[in-house]
Amino acid sequence: MAIAVVLVLVVVGSVVFHLLSPWWWTPIASNWGYIDNTLVITFWITGIVFAAVVLFMAYCVFRFRHKEGSKAAYEPENRKLESWLTVITAIGVAAMLAPGLYVWSQFISVPDDATEVEVIAQQWQWSYRLPGEDGRLGKSDNRLVSLENPLGIDPEDPNGQDDVVVEAADLHLPIDKPVKMLLRSIDVLHDFYVPEFRAKMDMVPGSVTYFWFTPTRTGTFEVLCAELCGVGHAFMRGIVMVDNEEDYLAWLAEQSTFAQLSEAQQVGTLEEERP
């Protein structure tokens, strides 16, 4: 009897904790409200299953508790019960997968007017590359990474000369304009995550992953690495600022292009070589 009561209290306590919990999502700042909806659907499905299983256990413990003179019936198989459990489980799994597949389809279907922004991760900092006046990002390759070219931009690609380089600094984005985030790591696994954007993706060395979103409100948001990447993982943080059009263009005008940075490095090298 005591065990049955404890199991019931576990269910009641879980529901009360959910209703009174102070831990909720951060305010959303992108178009991905679908993510929250999917999590809520998954929560309710798993929550109902959890409550049903625990309450059924409590019923069994109470209903089939030891009694003098009672004898357990041996029934190793019950095809009817197994069939029902299979059907109910399949429906539950499908109900959880369907919203996720729908959202995933939208998550990777990038709008044609989205601007590409490259995110480069390395232990333990974030850098970025934005298209220049031509509106196109140049090629990049991890094999080209060096002290003079920390982002591995291909110097032979003319499309990359006007690319805007933001090394280990804050990223600015314009409000209400879709952005395709190209994610690249130059050392180990990382994960670019801004909680308010509800969008994240692993960054795998040797490949380029992506997602897209549209910032829906201005503000300053913290970038986190959501993949354990070494002893400095907890300190791998950054800032994304969503600006209005005027502020964004003002910030963009202050940034340097790859060509400008390369020229400055060449001048510095020549000055060092002079006797």
What domains does the chain contain, in order, with CATH numbers? 2-63+77-107 (no CATH), 115-273 (2.60.40.420)
pLDDT tier at 270, thresholds 50, 70, 90: very low
Residues whose CB is less than 8 angstroms from the CB of residue 8 and which lie 6 or more positions away in sequence, other chains included: 54, 55, 58
- Per-residue pLDDT, averaged over 137-141, amounts to 87
| Out of 47-51, 56-60, 63-67, least confident range | 63-67
**pLDDT of 272:** 52
- What does pLDDT average to over the chain? 87
**pLDDT of 86:** 92
Query: What is the residue whose two structure tokens read 């429906």?
Result: 91
DSSP 234: G
- Per-residue pLDDT, averaged over 168-174, amounts to 92
pLDDT tier at 177, thresholds 50, 70, 90: very high
Chain CA centroid to CA 19, Å: 26
Among candidate residues 159, 163, 133, the one with its CA nearest the CA of residue 151? 163
Percentage of the chain lying above the pLDDT 70 cut: 96
Structure tokens at 272: 């060092």
Q: What is the amino acid identity at position 102?
A: Y
Cis peptide before 124 (omega within 30 of 0): yes
**pLDDT of 121:** 92
Q: Rounded to two decimals, what is the model's pTM?
A: 0.77
**pLDDT of 92:** 82
8 A C-beta contact, residue 208 and residue 182: yes
